[in-house]
Amino acid sequence: MQLATRRDKTLLSGKSITASQKEQRLTMVKFFPLQYLRQVKAEMLKVTWPTRRETAISTVAVFVMVFVAAMFLFAADQILSFLVHEILRIGT
């Protein structure tokens, strides 16, 4: 990550890039798909996946919170609508 940052600063500053920096940049560009897939698999094995019960409980909690937020916003909208209507009616 730091190499890319230094390289970006060099490119933005307008300085010329040395041969070793060009070689280093070329080595950073190489991509090895099989190595990448092995690393992804290794990381996925480290993940602690939730159980079916934990997922169901979390889903219910999300639905309840969405319902509570919707009711709050509905009530706030109705109150503000009533107040604006009353304020505008007073002026006429």
- 7-18 b/e (C-beta count within 10 Å ≥ 16 → b): eeeeeeeeeeee
* In a shared domain, residues 3 and 42: yes
Same domain, 29 and 43: yes
Residues 35 and 76 in one domain: no
38, 58: one domain: no
Considering the domain architecture, whether residues 1 and 41 belong to the same structural domain is answered as yes
Residue 33 and residue 58: Cα distance in Å, rounded? Answer: 35
Per-residue pLDDT tens digits for 57-78: 999 999 999 999 999 999 999 9
Same domain, 40 and 1: yes
Its pTM stands at 0.52
Please indicate, yes or no, whether residues 23 and 39 belong to a single structural domain of this protein.
yes
Residues spanned by the domain of 3? 1-47
Do 65 and 42 share a structural domain? no
User: Are the beta carbons of 85 and 78 closer than 8 angstroms?
Assistant: no
Residue 1: pLDDT band by 50, 70, 90 thresholds? very low
Domains in the chain: how many in total? 2
